[in-house]
Amino acid sequence: MKKLLVSLLVAVFFASTIYSQDDNYLRPAEIGVSFNMYDFTTASRIRTTSLNSVLSNKKWAKLSQMSPGLGIHYFKGLKNHIDFAGTLSGAFLNYPFPNKPDFASDRLLLALDASAQFKLTSDKYWIQPFISAGMGGHKYRSYWGAVIPLGVGVNIDFFGEGKLFINSQYRVPVTTGSANYHFFHAIGLSGRIGKKKEPKIIPLPPPPPPAPKDTDGDGIIDDNDKCPTIPGVVKYEGCPVPDTDKDGINDDNDKCPTVPGLAKYQGCPIPDTDKDGINDEEDKCPTIPGVARYGGCPVPDTDKDGFNDEEDKCPTVPGVASQQGCPEISLEVTKTISYAAKNVYFATGSTKLLSQSFKPLDDVVKILKDNTSLKLKIDGHTDNVGADDYNMKLSIGRAASVKNYLISKGIDASHLESEGFGETTPVADNNTAAGRTKNRRVEMKVYY
């Protein structure tokens, strides 16, 4: 066991040496002291019952059932999110060895452990939650034991000079005959060892010698520049090239010296052949007047019915003015749809279609398949018998049943719309049986 403890100390020493490189948020070496509590009672209860039982029945140990002690700690950052922690702790207690009777009196327990603390945040932040794992050993009376400490905790930073630390470990025995399961709780303070590292200041390089003065920044020093305050070129001894229209093409090479243009057109503007205000380079139809949103082409008329696509509600189907560019809906279609709507029946108080509704609805299916651009609006209505909410849901469900029937017959759902109005739009007096019968209805309307 002594060899094990010596090995742990050697490993701690080399780990501290290997990982002591500079890091922006690396924890400095710190020494700390803590007040500790040893809890064998809760660990025993968990092992004899279960963690859930201990928590649900509040069977964790009270402070009076724990043993107090003191600890000395050493901390050193290995990485931004990994610290080394070494702890030497002691307490006077009666250590409960497994399968052995309790001792007659308390004796000193000395424990040493080394752990790695895996932090959720680096030392850049003032609070650093962590989990830890490591290896530890202890001596009690003439017994040596080894444990694996597994823990959670938190560090709270004090202006980079030290920390308040809280840590709880569950210590799992390695030498099962001379160590027992127990909890180890610690709260303490730690402080930096040595002086705080000052940031290294790199001196600035000496300023370069002053360059010859060039006021206008055109690369020609003022001594040789005839226009020292105006950028120019060597050809004109530092003065600008003459460019009357300011298009970047000097007047000697500009065919349109008073009108801004492009080099491609020898200083003249880009032409606009069809005079539609869109120059030929941006005009997809340079010889036909058009509009900018169609790249200089006229507004298209896809179906060639004389109504451009922006005004045509059916841009891909030739139509008439009365239907805003859509085909005219025939009287026969209107009558068939109206007849079908009047002959849709449902089971009483239900959204289920009755079989006598199928033939009229099949006629509607044929119309929609023959006229694939047509769309159909289905409205459901009820009388005022029953609660308003019930009637609204019933009307919505009945309109949806008609829609679903048409979909089941191959009609595209995007061409169908259903809505329920409940009892809100009567067409007859709800105070009479005949009026209520008229109000219980389905209405259908075709449109483009």
Helix (H, G, I), strand (E, B) or coil at 330: coil
Flag whether pLDDT at 13 surpasses 60. no
Question: CB neighbours of 152 closer than 8 A, spacing ≥ 6?
Answer: 129, 130, 131, 132, 167, 168
What is the reported pTM? 0.42
pLDDT reported for residue 2: 38
Mean pLDDT of the 107-132 span = 92
Flag whether pLDDT at 199 surpasses 70. no
Better pLDDT: 47 or 201: 47
The helix (run of H) or strand (run of E) holding residue 435 is helix 433-439
Better pLDDT: 305 or 189: 189
Question: CB neighbours of 228 closer than 8 A, spacing ≥ 6?
Answer: 215, 216, 222, 238
For residue 39, give the nearest of 78, 91, 108 by alpha carbon.
Answer: 91
Tokens of 444: 């259908």
Longest dimension (CA), the chain: 116
List, for residues 254-276, the tens digit of each pLDDT value.
788 888 988 888 888 888 788 88
Mean pLDDT of the 112-123 span = 92
Mean pLDDT of the 183-212 span = 82
* Mean pLDDT rounded to a whole number for the chain: 86
Q: Report residue 197's pLDDT band, with 50, 70 and 90 as the boundaries.
A: low
Hey, what domains does the chain have and what are their CATH numbers? 2-192 (2.40.160.20), 331-447 (3.30.1330.60)
List, for residues 96-108, the tens digit of each pLDDT value.
988 888 888 889 9
Better pLDDT: 364 or 228: 364
Flag whether pLDDT at 23 surpasses 50. no
Instruction: Give the span between the Cα atoms of 284 and 281, in whole angstroms.
Output: 8
pLDDT reported for residue 198: 64
Flag whether pLDDT at 3 surpasses 70. no
List, for residues 366-413, the tens digit of each pLDDT value.
999 998 889 999 999 999 999 999 999 999 999 999 999 999 999 999
Instruction: Give the span between the Cα atoms of 182 and 152, in whole angstroms.
Output: 15
pLDDT reported for residue 212: 84
Better pLDDT: 83 or 26: 83
